[in-house]
Structure 1
Amino acid sequence: MDMTPFRPRLARNVALGLAAVVLVAAGALVVLMGGLTGFDRASFVVFGLLIVWFCWRQASVRAVPDEDGLTVRNLVVTTRLTWAQVVAVSFGDRPWVQLDLANGDTLAVMGIQRADGEYAQGEARRLATLVAAMSSTERDD
């Protein structure tokens, strides 16, 4: 089985590019704008760093499979699931894959995003195949 992590392509590239632009722009504003107080300069830097942190979080979303389960790192929360907890994988019309869980909840997997087109469709199929293979039992119930 292919245990390669699931990561978005487009969102990752856009987020990293935006982070670079924000770093350069915030630095340029601090250097080039005259008449700023120390507080103003610090505010620009902190605001820029907050945007860069958010972009980094977006760029680092992923789902990492292993023999025991799946670790899903979304924008804010990281969730660890065993294979038995995952009932189904669906894409539907959502922007990212959803996992139906045994307890009735759903969990978004931002590591597979519709914006990636055919690549995302293939990754959703790969995840569904992995779930089916890793959660099957002798009776396959």
Structure 2
Amino acid sequence: MSDPTPLPDLPVTFRPGHTRAVLLTAGVVIFLVISGIALLLENLGPGSRLSFIVTGALIFWFLAQLARVKVVADRSGVTVVNIVSKRRLAWAEILRVNLRTGDPWVFLDLSDGTSLPALGIQPGIAKQRAIADARTLRALAEAHSAPSALPHEPRS
């Protein structure tokens, strides 16, 4: 058996750092290129120039939404911020933290029988970092989950 994962000081934020940097850099470059083209083309009217710039801004906004994903763990629970949603979970709601081979990101098995993707931990560019983050989140979930207050009664 491996050594237990040391618990970090809370709060802790998990983000796909390399992916975030790539997305934000690409967004800035795309916005600047499209805006530059709009300003350099002499036969474009003000409305056409504006539509180029707005298109560049929308592309940047979309890439920024992709880059905002994160998982924040604190003493009372976990906040999962995905592309278009944000969900707050108490520690007791998280039954298991999964990152299996081939998974695009971590999945949280919840007490209501559902599974929640946590895009803030993804093994895309930095696989070892994602594995370490998943182990840390799993150790935090296990450490903060309250055991059942009622003992299991044998069935007759």
Please name the residue that 1:71 is paired with. 79
2:95 aligned with 1:87: yes
Amino acid in the other structure paired with 1:124? A
Structure 1: gaps of 5 or more residues: none
Contact 2:20 2:67 in 1 (8 A): yes
Amino acid in the other structure paired with 2:14? F
How far did residue 5 of structure 1 move? 0.3
Deviations 1:17-72 (A, max 9, x none): 10121121022111111211222111111111111111212222101111111011
Mapping of 1:1-141 within 5 angstroms?
Answer: 1-2=7-8, 3=10, 4-92=12-100, 93-115=102-124, 116-137=126-147
How far did residue 138 of structure 1 move? 7.1
How far did residue 139 of structure 1 move? 6.0
Give me the whole-angstrom Cα distance separating, in 2, the residues matched to 1:28 and 1:103. 51
3-state secondary structure, aligned to 1:112: coil
The CA RMSD measured in Å over matched residues stands at 1.7
How far did residue 10 of structure 1 move? 2.1
The answer to which structure has the higher helix fraction is: 1
Bigger Rg, which one:
2
Deviations 1:96-129 (A, max 9, x none): 0000111111111111011121011000000000
3-state secondary structure, aligned to 1:36: coil
Q: How many residue pairs align between the two structures?
A: 141
Give me the whole-angstrom Cα distance separating, in 1, the residues matched to 2:82 and 2:98. 17
How far did residue 136 of structure 1 move? 3.3
